[in-house]
A and B are shown apart, each in its own frame.
Chain A
């Protein structure tokens, strides 16, 4: 059902479909608008277009209310059709910390099983520490909930496959892996461009994530502090490669349309010597088919130049940064045509041509490299937007099918679902692939050696 290869038009159109005019207007001005505010009557000066209502609401539960879980709640509050009816964390102060702004009507639970037993909950976002995913995902699917599971799906290949298998077999519900970049409109604008050969022959890729941050979380409760810092220990963490790098490694793998066959890793604990056994600085070389390699590095010791990806081709290089991208052409590269009118940004001595939807419209993208663009929200917003839309649409279609025909011919059901216009989102297979790559990359870092990535690893 994932139609990631032909989505730019559908995605943009569907995005508009799912968003009220008032929301779009506010977005263009960069004003944050919450669902409750968007529901207020429109001002009289608004054009008298027939309003397109958002899809029917899908009622959400959020499990895991740490830093990321609260980010999830914040984005869900911006969506017009994703009311949060339940939240859960097994640590009382985490539950208390969630204000009424992001989940004003949510019932609060201290046990995910109680949340899953609630009939009011149709879909859950699982934002707990990685080692807890397997148990909760399996229970949620068993309970008939649509599931959005953060990545990596798991810390071990065995757990990741158990999740993928359960997601594959849970044909009545939608499963989405939290590879949020796969839902971002800008990525879908870039995908056909990069694959069309516009940069010539693929030569190599490079990506980085730099942030000076200890990753250390503190709590007045020593036991809770230990639990909070699960990312710092190899027993519970896939390290920088798994917890952070997975998104960029997956993006490169997606764009290059091929899995790496081997990964060589390096890792050191250079700055944060506080008892952790997870490296604070890592490098990895990922070997893709036809001699193309990704060189990736991530560090918690320096924030210079933040995060981005570079794709190098024989005719041009492309930089992807936040929701923006630029192409840097070689002197002998063929003229594409449109770039004559596109915005140019100077990067030291190089000139980057802005690569965004509507790139020739200066008013839409601003006049500087850091100006706003046509996709003003972050990738988590778009991923949750897609999840809510797909859970509503696909979930409804599956129910209609089963109510009409029963479950004796599931192949026919799958065929009928293919006609639906789904929003771009990572499915269980893509989540599994990315998780396995992240786990193997972390293994390479821990062992400081080259590890093979056998294609059989990806089979269920």
Chain B
């Protein structure tokens, strides 16, 4: 009895140590406040429009052997072309602002109202799959197809879009990408505001463009 307890404890200890070692080996990148850019671009019957922000929250956790070496011609640590990775990102809706010359506040209000920002305060994305695109040219950003659950205005859809990752300084990475989507697929009716001079109809297609800088947590 005592011996079996000893082995059980030893097994637990070894398992725990093994898991701890594995956990330590993960590379955890966390968001940081400088250099992030988010843009939402759209069209309308009057002119194209754009909303800008600089806040992206979240993290990326990569498998132990995944290293972004700009001098390498391949990406190590993959499993059948897939990147072992967990990631979550969010953008607070009210941090997106228009920089239009004329009445930018109206655009801000329209966007927040259209996206039901009082109920759904964030655009959220949870990564479920990331596939490496090869061949990779030395000195260029690493390219991937990212798939995950994107939540906007209370509706969640599965989306796939291309992204790139490149090392920045010694301990940072920059993740860049463009997410094309239709407002209506997220239950959002394209707004058609009246400014007194006529009706402006926004197009259904929009793009979320981002550059996200993360720092390695050691």
> Are A52 and B94 in contact, with the CB atoms below 8 A?
no
Question: How many interface residues does chain B have, given as a range?
Answer: 20 to 34
In the assembled complex, the Cα of A437 lies from the Cα of B92 at a distance in Å of: 42
Chain B residues touching A, majority SS? mixed
The residue on A at minimum CB distance from B106 is A52
> Are A403 and B33 in contact, with the CB atoms below 8 A?
no
> Are B33 and A413 in contact, with the CB atoms below 8 A?
yes
Chain B, 31-47, CB within 8 A of any chain A CB:
31-34
Query: Is B184 an interface position by the 8 A CB rule?
Result: no
Query: Is B195 an interface position by the 8 A CB rule?
Result: yes
Q: Enumerate chain B residues within 8 angstroms of A13, measured Cβ to Cβ.
A: 103, 105
In the assembled complex, the Cα of A48 lies from the Cα of B32 at a distance in Å of: 44
In the assembled complex, the Cα of A397 lies from the Cα of B93 at a distance in Å of: 11
Q: Enumerate chain B residues within 8 angstroms of A409, measured Cβ to Cβ.
A: 32-34
> Are A404 and B56 in contact, with the CB atoms below 8 A?
yes
Query: Is A49 an interface position by the 8 A CB rule?
Result: yes
Query: Is B109 an interface position by the 8 A CB rule?
Result: yes
In the assembled complex, the Cα of A376 lies from the Cα of B57 at a distance in Å of: 44
Query: Is B68 an interface position by the 8 A CB rule?
Result: no
In the assembled complex, the Cα of A52 lies from the Cα of B191 at a distance in Å of: 13
> Are A56 and B118 in contact, with the CB atoms below 8 A?
yes
A27-62 CB mask vs B (1 if < 8 Å, else 0) is 000000000000000000001111011001000000
> Are B109 and A53 in contact, with the CB atoms below 8 A?
yes
Q: Enumerate chain A residues within 8 angstroms of B92, measured Cβ to Cβ.
A: 400, 403-404
> Are A403 and B57 in contact, with the CB atoms below 8 A?
yes
Query: Is B139 an interface position by the 8 A CB rule?
Result: no
Query: Is A6 an interface position by the 8 A CB rule?
Result: no
Q: Enumerate chain B residues within 8 angstroms of A416, measured Cβ to Cβ.
A: 33, 54-55
The residue on B at minimum CB distance from A48 is B194
Query: Is B90 an interface position by the 8 A CB rule?
Result: yes
> Are B57 and A404 in contact, with the CB atoms below 8 A?
yes
Q: Enumerate chain A residues within 8 angstroms of B54, measured Cβ to Cβ.
A: 416, 419
B51-80 CB mask vs A (1 if < 8 Å, else 0) is 000111100000000000000000000000
Name 18 A/B residue pairs within 8 A (Cβ), A-sorted.
A13-B103, A49-B194, A50-B106, A50-B110, A52-B105, A396-B94, A400-B94, A400-B95, A401-B33, A404-B33, A404-B55, A404-B56, A404-B90, A405-B32, A409-B33, A416-B33, A416-B55, A421-B105
Q: Beyond A53-B109, A397-B94, A405-B31, list 8 extra A-B contacts (CB 8 Å).
A: A49-B196, A50-B110, A50-B195, A400-B94, A401-B33, A403-B92, A404-B33, A421-B105
Interface set of A (CB-CB < 8 Å, partner B): 13-14, 17, 47-50, 52-53, 56, 396-397, 400-401, 403-405, 409, 412-413, 416, 419, 421
